[in-house]
Amino acid sequence: MNDFQYHNTTDIRFGRNHIDAELHDAVAQFGNKVLLTYGGQSIKRSGLYERVLKLLDGLEVVELGGIAPNPKIDSVREGQKLAKDNDVQVILAVGGGSVIDASKVIASARYYEGDPWDLVVKANGADRMLLPQLPVVDILTLAATGTEMNFGSVISNPETEQKLGTGGPQSPAVSFLAPELTFTVPANQTAAGSMDIMSHLIEQYFDKAPANDVSKGLIEGLMRTVIKWAPVALDQPDSYDARANLMWSATMALNGIVRSGNQNGWTVHPLEHELSAYYDITHGEGLGILTPRWMQHVLNEDTVALFARFGRNVWQINGEDDQQVALEAIDRTEDWIENLGIPMTLPAVGIKDEANFNVMATSAVKVGQLQTNAYVGLNVDDVITIYRESMKDWQKLSL
Amino acid sequence: MNDFQYHNTTDIRFGRNHIDAELHDAVAQFGNKVLLTYGGQSIKRSGLYERVLKLLDGLEVVELGGIAPNPKIDSVREGQKLAKDNDVQVILAVGGGSVIDASKVIASARYYEGDPWDLVVKANGADRMLLPQLPVVDILTLAATGTEMNFGSVISNPETEQKLGTGGPQSPAVSFLAPELTFTVPANQTAAGSMDIMSHLIEQYFDKAPANDVSKGLIEGLMRTVIKWAPVALDQPDSYDARANLMWSATMALNGIVRSGNQNGWTVHPLEHELSAYYDITHGEGLGILTPRWMQHVLNEDTVALFARFGRNVWQINGEDDQQVALEAIDRTEDWIENLGIPMTLPAVGIKDEANFNVMATSAVKVGQLQTNAYVGLNVDDVITIYRESMKDWQKLSL
């Protein structure tokens, strides 16, 4: 178990009865000049937009709508200008991961004189830029990324074909998690969001830190929860229990708790970020396609014990033979993803040829530091192999 | 899954390399007048006391030592006077749960003109007193109570034979968790501390809130961790892995995360608080004696499904019959506690007769609101039955 620091001050208001009673004060505690951010038309259709405006009565609200999935740096630039021009004191983000991610970067861009893409590019290393941030309050409308209780954002730049993670000094100040707001999330987004949660858990579970049973035990519990409730949410979109378990799992999967004491970086996310940077596919679908192929590729005599633990404690597979339990666990994972309705090959999401595999693999290895920092080190050829396997139908591994 | 708010700002510094590098600044950020609190001689014997004083070089330190297990209100009174007289700006608590609990109440008593026992008695209800608090920084030396990342304290008043829980507005500002500081914890305290962690998990697991799989999944992972590592810590007191898993499990068990969305209050703790209020026994030992008897008493057709889940997911018992799995799970729990070396009857900890059972049971039912607020409602007779069963040797329940 490695050393760690955990410090997360996000104030979570979870459930049915918080928004109407508490939203106004949660925002107004930071000032009366509010930047309201959101995505497309869905919050207008659902009535949430009107409801929020009514609750903000008495505050000065400027709006930035139209923040797209895989949020683009242009939205951040627009938000930066609005925040400065209007001397905004707090951002209220209403939406899913994209809206909140963009808002967190706008919160820092408010205090930056240059182009906010700098804040994304210079997120790591010696020249890291860590500006102050406006407080962000959010109302989450999709269970997926966990951004509602962490420091990170992922921003895309179509000009440079880059999709990069960045982190600010603060997690959101207050996050309202109201599961019933996700009743209207369509099946494909429910599936992609659930896969995103599952992927975050998998990325942090397959970790080299010795004897970190707290992390692994917490993650196993969250995985079983997502495995159980995602199909229910697809079958009964207005099941409060299903939506609530998915939403809180999403937050817990990526608020830093479950990776405490961990060691290595992530693998499948860097591989997927290349796909959605080049082809703008749905992030959760890319993860769903890549994850079982990655598992198959990194299963070896060093990793089989952890894959077998995953099989026994998460998939509740009986059996003495680690290798067989591991193979069955990977098959069960693939099967669960497929049953969510996620297209399971790259051609099925529109990636018809290998033209960009080399350049994408090179970038993934570099950005993800995959040779030195991954659970199992991967080089460019390894990544190309995983992309190539993702072109074909899945072949069952276990007997 | 019920509504909840989760907001916990404690800054955790976990591992080998934080104290020397960061303690001074963690304290000094709040001012240069420090109240240093601690318990008996163990931190002097171990060298920790000298090490801490050296790290506080340049700050004005006043000391309050001698805080006893089951901390007494007299220590709080003494701390209140020291904090006021010296215009203290921050408290540094070095010790286990008792030292930190007392320090958190002193932190509020600093701002109170009356007797600090008022702060304990008026912790709930309409006349709740919620004063500001001095920031508390702590260095934890025992994995047990979780006080290092929560709002609560338990304080005893020998004059009134009361042991009561209270809560302040703040959890500790910064908690240093260095597992190697617990290498020297004697076997009986290691066992009692591990039982305390396990009991916190059990109290929150056996909960009526519908469909709260996140909570139950997280708790199952923590329980398996404690079950695995407590015997290792007893066998190899300087196993870093064992001490680290126990310490972080203790914090996670009671920082509010795992009870998010829960419904009912606790049962075994109110029963035990009466024992240690009347007989000053070790809290974790009292919990160890009472827990299996409570489980046996509340197992019924309404609760058997959850006990069976506990058996399957925590004790990894196979079997189709819920009742048999439940009974075996209770036996396994009792067996694990006994193997920690905890005395398993009340006479074994010096409680030789039933003289106080009626008055203790009456108080436990009242303080714990056990008739209305427990997982399974208990009246005075139920509690007396549990105390009586605790006089006898355990009889195996399963085949």
Q: What CA–CA distance (Å, rounded) separates A197 from A182?
A: 15
- Among the partner residues A1, A5, A248, nearest to B214 by beta-carbon distance: A248
- Per-residue model confidence as pLDDT tens digits over A231-284: 999 999 999 999 999 999 999 999 999 999 999 999 999 999 999 889 989 999
In this structure, the number of other CB atoms found within 10 A of the CB of residue B204 comes to: 25
The verdict on A225 touching B (C-beta cutoff 8 Å) is yes
DSSP-H helix ranges across A171-212: 187-205
Q: Which residues of B touch A225 (CB under 8 A)?
A: 213-214, 217
Model pLDDT, residue A299: 98
Average pLDDT of the segment spanning A136-144: 97
Confidence class of residue B129 from pLDDT cuts 50, 70 and 90? confident
pLDDT band for position B127 (cuts 50, 70, 90):
confident
Asked whether the beta carbons of B215 and B2 are under 8 A apart, the reply is: no
Tell me the domain boundaries of chain B: 11-182, 187-389
The answer to whether the CB atoms of B213 and A219 lie below 8 A apart is: no
* Dist. CA B253–CA B257, nearest whole Å: 8
Q: What's the DSSP call for residue B72?
A: B
Nearest to A5 among B3, B13, B216 (CB): B13
Contact B221 A225 (CB under 8 A): no
Task: Tell me how far CA of residue B288 lies from CA of B69, B132, B195, B269, in angstroms.
Answer: 17, 36, 6, 11
Cross-chain residue pair A214–B245, CB shorter than 8 Å: yes
Q: Which of A4, A15, A17 sits opposite B14 (nearest CB)?
A: A4
The angle formed by the CA atoms of residues A313, A219 and B3, to the nearest 5 degrees, is: 115
User: How many other CB atoms are found less than 10 A from the CB of residue A2?
Assistant: 16
Q: For A59-88, what is the mean pLDDT?
A: 97
Residues 6+ apart with CB under 8 A from A318: A312, B318
Please give the residue of chain A at the shortest CA–CA distance from B247: A214
Nearest to A214 by CA among B162, B227, B102, B178: B227
Distance CA A309, CA A300 (A): 14
Query: pLDDT band for position B168 (50/70/90)?
Result: confident
The dihedrals phi and psi of B363, each to the nearest 5 degrees, come to -70, -40
Span B192-203, average pLDDT: 98
What is the SS3 assignment for A335?
helix
Assembly ipTM: 0.96
Decide if A225 and B245 are in contact by the 8 Å CB cutoff.
Answer: no
Query: Which pairs from B320-329 meet CB under 8 Å and 24+ separation?
Result: B324/B398, B324/B399, B326/B299, B327/B299, B327/B397, B327/B398, B328/B397, B328/B398
Give the long-range contacts of residues A40-47, CB within 8 A, separation 24 or more. Answer: A40/A65, A40/A66, A40/A68, A42/A141, A42/A184, A43/A94, A43/A95, A43/A141, A46/A181, A46/A184
Is the model's pLDDT at A123 over the cut of 90?
Answer: no
pLDDT bin (cut points 50, 70, 90) of residue B26 is: very high
| Contact with chain A for residue B3, Cβ under 8 A | yes
- Which residue does chain B place closest to A212, by CA atoms? B245
Mean of pLDDT over chain A? 96
Chain B residues closer than 8 Å to A260 by CB: 14, 248
Do A358 and A381 contact (CB within 8 A), yes or no?
Answer: no
B327 DSSP 8-state letter: H
A319 interfacial to chain B (CB closer than 8 Å): no
Which residue has 């400065």 as its token pair?
Answer: A84
Q: Read off the pLDDT of each residue in B287-309 and give the average, rounded to a whole number.
A: 98
Mean pLDDT, chain B, integer: 96
Nearest-Å Rg of the Cα atoms of chain B is: 21
Q: Which residues of chain A lie closer than 8 angstroms to B228, CB-CB?
A: 213
Read off the amino acid at residue B71: P
The model's confidence at residue B163, banded by pLDDT at 50, 70 and 90, is: confident
Taking the CA of residue B78 and the nearest CA in chain A, the distance in Å comes to 32
According to CATH, the superfamily of the domain at B187-389 is Dehydroquinate synthase-like - alpha domain (1.20.1090.10)
The whole-number pLDDT of residue B123 equals 80
Is residue A318 less than 8 Å (CB to CB) from chain B? yes
What distance, in Å, lies between the first and last C-alpha atoms of chain B? 35
pLDDT in tens, B215-260: 999 999 999 999 999 999 999 999 999 999 999 999 999 999 999 9
Looking at the complex, does the CB of residue B216 fall below 8 Å from at least one CB of chain A? yes
B225 to chain A, any CB pair closer than 8 A? The answer is yes
Residue with tokens 């240069």: B32
Are B2 and B261 spatial neighbours (Cβ–Cβ below 8 Å)? yes
With an 8 Å Cβ cutoff, is B318 touching chain A?
yes
At position A347, the amino acid (one-letter code) is P
pLDDT per position as a tens digit, A180-207: 999 999 999 999 999 999 999 999 999 9
* Helices A240-253, A187-205: inter-axial angle, 10-degree rounding: 40
Identify the pLDDT of residue B302: 97
Q: Is B153 exposed, middle or buried (0-12, 13-18, 19+ CB in 10 A)?
A: buried
For residue B178, what are the β-bridge partners? none
CB-based contacts of A307, cutoff 8 Å, min separation 6: A295, A299, A322, A325, A326, A329, A330
**pLDDT, tens digit (0-9, with 9 covering 90-100), for A317-351:** 999 999 999 999 999 999 999 999 999 999 999 99
**DSSP labels, A49-74:** HHHHHHHTTTSEEEEE--PPSS-BHH
Q: Indicate which of A3, A10, A312 best probes the interface with B, i.e. most B CBs within 10 Å of its own CB.
A: A3
The reply to whether residue A261 touches residue B248, judged by beta carbons under 8 angstroms, is: yes
Taking CA atoms, B170 is separated from A49, A341, B8, B10, B135, in Å, by: 35, 46, 8, 9, 8
Question: Taking CB atoms and an 8 Å limit, are B217 and A216 in contact across chains?
Answer: no
- Whole-angstrom distance, CA of residue B354 vs CA of residue A395: 68
Taking the C-alpha atoms of residue A256 and residue A215, their distance in angstroms, rounded to an integer, is 10
Q: Count CB neighbours of A118 within 10 A.
A: 14
* Domain B11-182, classified CATH 3.40.50.1970, yes or no: yes
> Which chain B residues have a beta carbon less than 8 Å from that of A1?
15, 240-241, 244-245, 248
Is the pLDDT at B183 greater than 80? The verdict is yes
| Surface-to-core class of residue A36, CB atoms within 10 Å of its CB (0-12 exposed, 13-18 middle, 19+ buried) | buried
Task: Tell me the pLDDT band of A140, cut-offs 50, 70 and 90.
Answer: very high
Q: How many helices (H) and strands (E) does chain B have?
A: 16, 9
H helix and E strand count, chain A: 16, 9
Which chain A residue has its CA at the smallest distance from B244's CA? A1
Q: Do domains A11-182 and A188-389 have the same CATH topology?
A: no
CA distance linking residue B7 with residue B383, whole number of Å: 34
pLDDT tens per residue across span B79-104: 999 999 999 999 999 999 999 999 99
User: For domain A188-389, which architecture applies?
Assistant: Up-down Bundle (1.20)
Residue A135 confidence (pLDDT) above 80: yes
Query: Phi/psi of residue B157, each to 5°?
Result: -125, 100
Q: How confident is the model at residue A41 (pLDDT cuts 50, 70, 90)?
A: confident
pLDDT of B125 above 80: no
Please compute the mean of the pLDDT values over residues B316-329 and round it to a whole number: 96
